[in-house]
Amino acid sequence: MSNRISELPVASEAIAGNDLVAVTNVSQSGIGETQKFNWLEMQNGGWINIFDTWTYASATTITVPAGATALYSVGMSLRFKQGGAYKYFYIIKVENALLTVTGGSDYSVADVAITDIYVGNAVLSVGFPQKFNYTPTPTNLSGGTINVAKFMLVGKRVFVAFRYTCAGAGISGSVSVSLPIEAADMNYLNIIGNVTLRDSDPVTNYNGIVLCSSTNMILSVGKSDGIYSNLGNLSATVPFTWAANDLIIIEASYFIV
């Protein structure tokens, strides 16, 4: 069988001996070596092989050839090897010759060679985990257990899930929880989600909202001290006296820089 692709914005050439087509992306000339992609690989699994040289810059940044802003975008999936199995990341910032990435607390960039590099659409890339764990920093919340702290990125929108089980009276004031990725142009007027505050004895759920700064989720609960309801901060006794096995459950989403 002969494959011929005639309507591509790139030059193409046949590979002798099989049905595959190599694609030379002419827009990448001058960015390291000219890239050649296997067309069926691009269709199979949603991953595109990158042949440029990438190097460690920090645990969350990678130095790449100049011109990266024309090739990569925020929200793309990324995988590569550093001497073992694949590591997986989201691209969260693109500069001319630097990519900022996150694999949450599951993956980080090591100061060793980067090989077997692939990028793709995070929703379509086969094997990409999509959900990553992260290690949040709570404020005025201590002694209990973080049961869930996960996030996923769809384009420039982050979805966060957080669940915390109290071990006792561990709330000492207004509660906030750090974001997995910095938010874009947020202030305390931005509502990004809901929080369920569960009293375990007797089981009673109180609903609140999640406000957002550029780095934190701030938890508020509804209260009524007049004709209209308004918002109040959590405390040791708001919305109830906190004790062992009480829960804080957050579901939120927001846009990144």
Domains of the chain: 1-44 (no CATH), 50-128 (2.40.10), 134-255 (2.60.90)
Q: Which residues contact 120 (CB under 8 A, 6 or more apart)?
A: 45, 46, 47, 48, 76, 77, 78, 128
Residue 257: what pLDDT?
80
DSSP string, the chain: ------S-SSEEEEPTTSS-EEEE-GGGTBSBSPPEEEHHHHHSTTEEEE-S--EEEETTEEE--S-GGGT--TTEEEEEESSSSEEEEEEEEEETTEEEEEBTBTB---SS--EEEEEEETTT-TT----EE----EEEE-SSEEEEEEEEEETTEEEEEEEEE-SSS-EEEEEEEE-SSPBSS--TTEEEEEEEEEEETTEEEEEEEEEE-SSEEEEEEEEESSSSEEEEE-BTTBSS---TT-EEEEEEEEEB-
Is the separation of the CB atoms in 14 and 23 below 8 Å?
no
Is the separation of the CB atoms in 101 and 56 below 8 Å?
no
* Residues 216-243: b if buried by 16+ CB within 10 A, e if exposed: bbbbbbeeeeeeeeeebbbbeebbbebe
Can you give the pTM of this predicted structure? 0.81
Residue 190: what pLDDT?
85
Residue 123: what pLDDT?
87
Residue 68: what pLDDT?
96
Which among 73, 63, 68, 76 has a CA at the least distance from the CA of 30? 68
Is the separation of the CB atoms in 171 and 234 below 8 Å?
yes
Residue 35: what pLDDT?
47
How far is residue 156's CA from residue 64's CA, in Å, rounded to a whole number? Answer: 21
Residue 42: what pLDDT?
52
Residue 188: what pLDDT?
58
Positions in the chain short of pLDDT 50: 1-38, 40
How far is residue 187's CA from residue 208's CA, in Å, rounded to a whole number? Answer: 18
